[in-house]
Amino acid sequence: MHRFALALVPLALITACGSDEPAADAPMGAEQSGLVAQNPDLAQMPYPSADGVDTVDYSGSYTLIDLDGSRSNLTLDKDAGTYEYVSPDGTTAGKYRRLDSGRISIENFDGSIGYFSIAPGAVYRLSGAGSPFDEIDPGRMYRRSDYAVEAGPGVATSPVDTPASPVPGR
């Protein structure tokens, strides 16, 4: 009897997981569509450079929208060498440290040291102190909302939703 019951368990699991609606026709949930908007194709993301700390004007405010919808803002001032970080957990501010011409670090970033590379219109949080400047991860990209993206192949608009600007002439 136990063998018969054990044989029915996989069949019951398969039946419970099935659906009459084909997977291709299933509507995309809000969670999935948000994830797609948050994680652009790597070819569409600003690329950091080995000398970004020196050559990119990265002063400005950057936003990261996490998968749960929470927002974090990082404001950098290149001339003063300062930052302000606002997250759902609070605000920190101070001086950032230049590591080399491609990376900076922030001493108190979500309770640990944050390492970043610089790209036109974005800063990327790196996974650690030894990470190369060109380690890019869509889930760790802080995007500058006022960055004007150049036209051309492989270019995407900003994934950061900003308030609509008034249209000139209306």
Cβ within 8 Å of residue 106, ≥6 positions away: 83, 85, 94, 96, 97, 113, 114, 116
pTM (predicted TM-score): 0.65
The three-class DSSP label of residue 109 is: strand
- Tell me: the pLDDT tens digits for 103-123? 999 998 988 999 999 999 999
Reported as a single tens digit per residue, the pLDDT across 70-97 is 999 999 999 999 999 999 999 999 999 9
In whole angstroms, give the CA distance from residue 142 to residue 136: 11
State the CATH architecture for 42-142.
Beta Barrel (2.40)
48, 118 contact by CB (below 8 A): yes
pLDDT along the chain (170 residues), means of 10: 46 47 44 45 82 95 92 97 95 96 94 95 95 92 75 40 40
Q: How confident is the model at residue 145, as a pLDDT?
A: 79
Residue 93 sits at φ, ψ, to 5 deg, of -150, 160
